[in-house]
Amino acid sequence: MHKRTVRGRIFLLALFTVLSIVWLLPSLPFWGTLPASLRNDLPGGTISLGLDLRGGMSLTLQVMEDKAVSGTLDEIASALSEKGVKPVISGTTISVPVTNPATKKNILDWVNSRAPYLQKVSDDSTGLAFGLPKSEVMRIKKHAMTQAMEVIRNRIDQFGVAEPVIEQQGKDRILIQLPGVTDPERAMALIGRTARLEFKLADDSADPAQFQNGKTPLPSGEEILYGSPSGRNGGRIPYLLKSRPLMSGDMISDARVSFGQFNEPYVSLTFNSSGSKLFDQITKNHVKQRLAIVLDKTVYSAPVIQEEISGGQAQITGSFSMKEAKDLAIVLRSGALPAPVRILQNVTVGPSLGKDSIRAGLHATMIALVLVLLFMAIYYRFSGVVADFALMLNMLFLMGAMAALHATLTLPGIAGIILTVGMGVDSNVLIFERIREEIRSGRPVRSSIDAGYDKAFLTIVDSHVTTLITAVILFMFGTGPIKGFAVTLTVGIAINLFTSLAGTRIVFDLLARRSKLERLSI
């Protein structure tokens, strides 16, 4: 064995050991007792505990993609109705009864410029009909799923959950895991809220109560909405509003909790440049009229516009608690969901179960490790002790790598660590049995060691590569705990390949350099 090769392996082993200790330090209990200057200089990677170990909640949501498609059609129909026609929606088709040639041309021009993806289905004396092509339907659905995941991720980030899991499952489902969440009801309300904010004019010329029983038809272009149960006006008060919103929440650039004269919390809205100009114009044109602030079809407040409001700011007031105001600000900042979501599964894991899982997992790992270490030391004697040394390095490197990758440790992940221990032992057993065979055949110890490693090399690589392929597939297509298992197994296999082939051999090479090594305790 060349000196350079041995020195290179020793250098790599020492380097990986130092790096593993440095990365692992922030995850150790005494990390907080170290000097602040040292903590600032060292990397901040930590091993996070998964949902099954830390406790928390797991949600499976279904994005109602069809609602996103119907919402797009409703917006088109609403825009066309401003042209003096009454569009009718049937499936993915919009029929527009129109006989006036000028109006028909106006509608065609609008569709060509504003909705060119619509296909003209018919054009005759009775009117026009446009269809939404399948390609556009698929695009809307795909965009709804992507946007829903982004909005939910923004809400959860602002909610303050560390290391959440948010991933798509299948075509229209989203898996959400929130470790450490102690208020699942609040989290569900925050995640599932559509948060569609609209500003609508109130019609005070008629009493809304007369339209509630359905006997008196609503005026054209108007609707009945109700106040929030916790609102300042007390209870579900009906409001008669114009159906068409003057402004929507997509023009909000910021939403924050502020406090009024009597220290009551409210939500302060700041509009972007386009929204600021539009809000100025709305308040200028509708002085002395009531402007209702509607969130998810609920009227939060309907103040009278006393004068033009410039500066691009508005307020949502109500009898909010501090928590309600904060959550409302979060959903408004993160944006509205493109389509409603339905909770298909809700599982809450208590922290006591997490502690029990951690304790059981640690006990299983320690028992497996101790038994393996004792077996190797007893059965293979000194060589077994060398294998134990490599196995401990394997565990150190694995935990250090997980900390560096900010990996999440789950209960299946602990199972992956135990499996890695078993594979590490299996590799050393293959090597030691080959060395025994060579020694029994009468070859010198030095050449027996070289031959043992050479003959076991391909077998060890083959077994590790096939297991690695399986682990990668589990990571790509698995979810939640399965990914935790795949991460620890993948990292463990790569590290084990190095420690089993290089870690133990370094010891034998150093012994061979210092002595003739005529006998080997194996």
pLDDT digits (tens, 9 = 90+) for 6-56: 777 888 888 888 888 888 888 777 776 777 777 777 776 677 777 777 778
The region of weakest confidence among 106-115, 239-248, 401-410 is 401-410
Whole-angstrom CA distances from 295 to 153, 248, 306, 331, 356 are 20, 10, 22, 11, 43
Tokens 């463990």 found at: 492
Answer whether residue 352 shows pLDDT above 60.
Answer: no
Distance of CA 80 to the CA centre of its chain: 38
Overall average pLDDT of the 108-118 stretch: 89
How many C-beta atoms surround the C-beta of residue 32 within 10 A? 9
DSSP character at residue 312? S
Q: What is the pLDDT of residue 156?
A: 86
Collect all residues with Cβ–Cβ distance below 8 Å to 420 and sequence separation of at least 6.
Answer: 394, 398, 488, 489, 492, 493, 495, 496
Collect all residues with Cβ–Cβ distance below 8 Å to 308 and sequence separation of at least 6.
Answer: 280, 283, 284, 287
Answer whether residue 1 shows pLDDT above 50.
Answer: no
Spatial contact of 457 and 501, defined as CB atoms under 8 Å apart: yes
Measure the CA–CA gap between 354 and 177, rounded to whole angstroms.
14
Residue 199, phi then psi, degrees to nearest 5: -110, 120
pTM (two decimals): 0.62
Q: What is the pLDDT of residue 329?
A: 85
% helix, strand, coil for the chain, step of 5? 55, 20, 25
> pLDDT tier at 232 (50, 70, 90 boundaries)?
very low
Answer whether residue 93 shows pLDDT above 90.
Answer: yes
Q: What is the pLDDT of residue 391?
A: 86
> pLDDT tier at 517 (50, 70, 90 boundaries)?
low
Measure the CA–CA gap between 463 and 171, rounded to whole angstroms.
35
> pLDDT tier at 413 (50, 70, 90 boundaries)?
confident
Overall average pLDDT of the 147-173 stretch: 83
The region of weakest confidence among 51-55, 254-258, 449-453, 507-511 is 51-55
Measure the CA–CA gap between 330 and 323, rounded to whole angstroms.
11
Measure the CA–CA gap between 59 and 344, rounded to whole angstroms.
8
Spatial contact of 268 and 313, defined as CB atoms under 8 Å apart: yes
How many C-beta atoms surround the C-beta of residue 406 within 10 A? 12
For the chain, what is the mean pLDDT? 83
Q: What is the pLDDT of residue 379?
A: 87
Domains and CATH numbers, the chain: 3-52+352-514 (1.20.1640.10), 65-136 (3.90.1070), 193-348 (3.30.1360.200)
Measure the CA–CA gap between 450 and 439, rounded to whole angstroms.
11
Q: What is the pLDDT of residue 230?
A: 53
Helix (H, G, I), strand (E, B), or coil: what is residue 393? helix
Overall average pLDDT of the 333-341 stretch: 83
DSSP character at residue 35? -
How many C-beta atoms surround the C-beta of residue 126 within 10 A? 12
